[in-house]
Amino acid sequence: MGAVLHLKHHEGWLREGRPIRARSVLADVAQLTRLPAVTDRPRFLRTAAEDVEDWAVAVITFEDGTKGTVHSNDTTLGGVRNTVTAYLTNGVVQANITPNTSVVAYAPEGRVWGDEYITEKVETTAGWQFPSPEEDWVRGYPQELEDFVDAIREGREPLSGAALAREVVEVIYAGYLSAATGRRVELPRP
């Protein structure tokens, strides 16, 4: 969610000198791994979800009329998929955060790799794998911390500052409200 909102904020700063914010949210959530059709079969999905959804989708309408779709789940075989795709009027940009192809490995059986960590939530280490060297760096954690410390030291707003953080929380809560009521939730805007 944060990546999508950050991109729209950045686009707005470049185009209009102010962020483009979310105007409304339509969402749905589910606990798919609790369905009998899933629990009555062999379990390949690696999930520890107890009292929380394991699947969600949100359609965000922005102030400029554009749309964003955010899908999140813990029900994807093959491990975590963190991707962002932006469909533009003059191109397409796809970021494969995890998995990415910086390292690709293959083993005919999972025991080849033993207990070696490959990547988050992968249910088997057999077959083609996308190990994640420097996983924290690829996900941007050290860069976020560095920018935060630099922002304090330099007396400036972090690249992902309070306005973005507030909007991320606002949109997520609006998504939960939308899922609970089955209706689109309009966000209060001046």
Q: Which domain holds residue 29?
A: 2-186
Give the per-residue pLDDT at 49.
Answer: 64
Q: How far apart are CA 143 and CA 103, in angstroms?
A: 21
Residue 28's nearest CA partner among 68, 67, 82, 70 is: 70
pLDDT-based confidence at residue 47 (cuts at 50, 70, 90): low
The CATH code of the domain that includes 80 is: 3.30.360.10
pLDDT-based confidence at residue 65 (cuts at 50, 70, 90): very high
**pLDDT of 12 above 90:** yes
Residue type, 51: D
pLDDT-based confidence at residue 48 (cuts at 50, 70, 90): low
Give the per-residue pLDDT at 61.
Answer: 98
Quick check: bond before 99 cis, omega within 30?
yes
Residue 58: count other Cβ atoms within 10 Å of its Cβ: 24
| Number of domains composing the chain | 1
For the entire predicted model, the pTM comes to 0.79
Tokens of 3: 């990546």
